[in-house]
Structure 1
């Protein structure tokens, strides 16, 4: 059962006892593995990010090079994900305007999906998006795409005018509305994208660690019938929450890409 706790926390070092240690925020700031004390420091979270990117790139390269007219299971799975991002995200919200933005939306969806799913893979066991750096990067990409699409469609002046001064509103109302539009459109949007993704991945990881480390402590420290019963309960809960975390990982990737498409749609359409 020590192995179970180690898998849950992503640590390969034994704690030295079987007592329960509640997960803390330090879970997300592990010691460096390589290049410690330099700007190129790599810890477990960075390593997991690199692994997820390498796996995704390998899958896509193999798909592009080995694609056949009649797809096999592997090719069909990749095409299903790409078609989902195209039809259910891009075309669903952008319609005929989806083409230029589809590569960005597909990259966001697949990138976030693979980075989220590392949170339930034994040996990795931490979502690559559970540290604020990656959610911020994806949110900035969505923010830049939203502004770029609006400027491309309407021009710089008309875009910002339409966003900050919606037509058809009595002029005195702009005194109240324009600061609200500025805050909600150009400040809160990237913040909400970042916080939504980050909070879901952090809470999911802490919940899984709590269940599996609690199982380890109950089985080995408490012992007896009571420890066995409670440990089994937390073990079953951990397995159930693992399945739920897989669902949340997929859902958050979809929501992030969907909101990006929605913001781009709002920027290119006339009010």
Structure 2
């Protein structure tokens, strides 16, 4: 069950690349097209303020979608396990996140259903189903993430507010903020304001020190910019890594969310 949880939580929704953390921690978001942006031709002070306001406007516009479908190849690694799988993700906006994990020979190992208040996991390899509240996501990840944050990470979306600190660099805009449990850092390209990196650093948590998500290989689908490549890294006592490459994805197409629990499965509660 732990390995299934690992894939579910780290598949690109929230995680990182333990084996590449040291190298990737120094990576920045580059934008080769910034010279074409009218904003960079303004005076430095005005330019920075304009970029900040434009980024706030773009980041806080809700994505125009009802459903999402994605199929990704996943490679994962941790001190106790390593391997690959195919991950299928479906979403009904603000309501359902459905995940299926398939291993070799196209055998489905697990199916997951996440709603704003619950998490259900069918482990087909062990003939069990685990039922828990959304708070179990926080228990597993050691991070205070709920349904909305989970959805945003899948979509590569960062929501900003006036309490953020902005730093305009040559090739990127870095935004930082903090609350009682987490320090956040987002890095965007200056041209197009594409999210390149999300970084979460826990406060007063000795188990997990941080999580990095790097978004790359952007494509536009139904006027939505979507990152088809994800590199994810969790640092701490048990560093973990995950690489996700989406091979197929779409928005606003009819989706079904089949989640049938066999009467022969043993039910576990958490």
Q: Which is helix-richer, 1 or 2?
A: 1
CA radius of gyration, larger in: 1
- Establish whether TM, by shorter chain, passes 0.5: no
Q: TM-score per shorter chain, which class?
A: under 0.3
TM score, norm. by length of structure 2: 0.27
TM-score, structure 1 normalization: 0.26
Richer in strand (by share): 2
